[in-house]
A and B are shown apart, each in its own frame.
Chain A
Amino acid sequence: MAEKHKPAPMVDEVSDFEILEMAVRELAIEKGLFSAEDHRIWTEYVHSLSPAPAARLVAKAWLDPEFKKLAVTDGIKASLEVGVDWINDPPTGFGTPSDYCHLRVLEDTPKLKHVVVCTLCSCYPRPILGQSPEWYRTPNYRRRLVRWPREVLAEFGLVLPDDVEIRVADSNQKTRYMVLPVRPEGTEGWTEDQLAEIVTRDCMIGVAVPKPGVTTNIPKPVHPALRPVQHDH
């Protein structure tokens, strides 16, 4: 007897929050703040972004020292080689209001670990890395990473020896950062695809390091904050 193929589950309900989003948007369009077409174009652009090109940039850099040099000196040019055009892909033709067109790829070494934050507003290199995770946008991360980086990294399960320099990069202006982590042991002879698979989004923010066999991000920090932000208002 043929097994009935179950359709994939779907949320068959429109929530008040979904309606709210639609309502805000349609009112803005009605008022002439922006057009439905512009909104659609921008949403489609943002929806097209993912961390895959950045992972490939890292994998290429690991395999090709010349490309690594390019990545570190000219992030925009290096992005083109993984199919990302910071200037011409966005509908404006000159970048988005938050992403701009100045990528710096920060190269880790065994003695130098980078980790990225934007204390002001959670800026992120979206054209090459996709949407930022929710935890990256929270005041909890933004306030604490610059001040207590080792504690915050430990909450992500990353503990580094004292003699490794941790460098926090705070993207407060037009530069957007991504981390080029150290290539881990156990990846000798791997192809670009195999290498890219273990370079997760979290590795390129800097809160994780690539490991053979680990291809997913942690959904959110697993340990409660040692020193959570005080809400005193």
Chain B
Amino acid sequence: MSKPQYDRTHHAKKATGIGDPQCFKGEAGPPKFKEGDKVRVRNRSDVFYTRCQVYTRGAVGEITKVCYESPAPEDEAWDNTENPVWFYSVVFRQQELWPEYPFPGDTLETEFTEDWLEPA
């Protein structure tokens, strides 16, 4: 994949006075998930670049918030900003994430792009 010339002026024109990620609002289409949905973090084959933490792979959690639209970090790292996606906040029980986590009530919340989630 060839790296496009970083077009700072394009992003600046689009985002100045509007904000990032605000500047991508409306570009991702309808969100696939909604608050309260149970989702599983997919175990996608390791992409060259990702912000999806290893410790969440395969875990089942619940959507707490449909957050914003933005290019996925996998795309944004290569300056591909043409295809924004929805970002979701997901909460997990810590006992779901870690072997022998002693406190059943504790949780962890973090964000995922739609591609990384599937219905559980």
Contact = CB atoms under 8 A, between A and B. Distances in A.
The answer to whether A and B come from one shared complex is yes
Interface of A: 76, 86-88, 92-95, 100-102, 104, 119-120, 146-147, 149-150, 162-175
Given A94-B19, A119-B53, A166-B105, 16 more contacts: A87-B18, A87-B22, A95-B15, A146-B97, A149-B94, A149-B106, A164-B105, A168-B106, A168-B109, A170-B53, A170-B108, A173-B67, A173-B73, A173-B111, A174-B68, A174-B70
B17 A93 contact: yes
Interface in B4-43: 11-12, 15-23
A150 B108 CA distance: 13
B55 A101 contact: no
Contacts of B109: 167-170
A119 B110 CA distance: 10
Nearest to B110: A170
Given A94-B16, A170-B109, A173-B111, A120 B51 contact: yes
B78 interface: no
Interface string B35-77: 0000000000000000111010000000001011010010000
B111 to A, nearest CB: 4
Given A94-B15, A101-B21, A173-B73, A146 B67 contact: no
B91 interface: yes
A168 B106 CA distance: 8
B87 A174 contact: yes
Contacts of A120: 51, 53
A87 B17 contact: yes
Contacts of B81: none
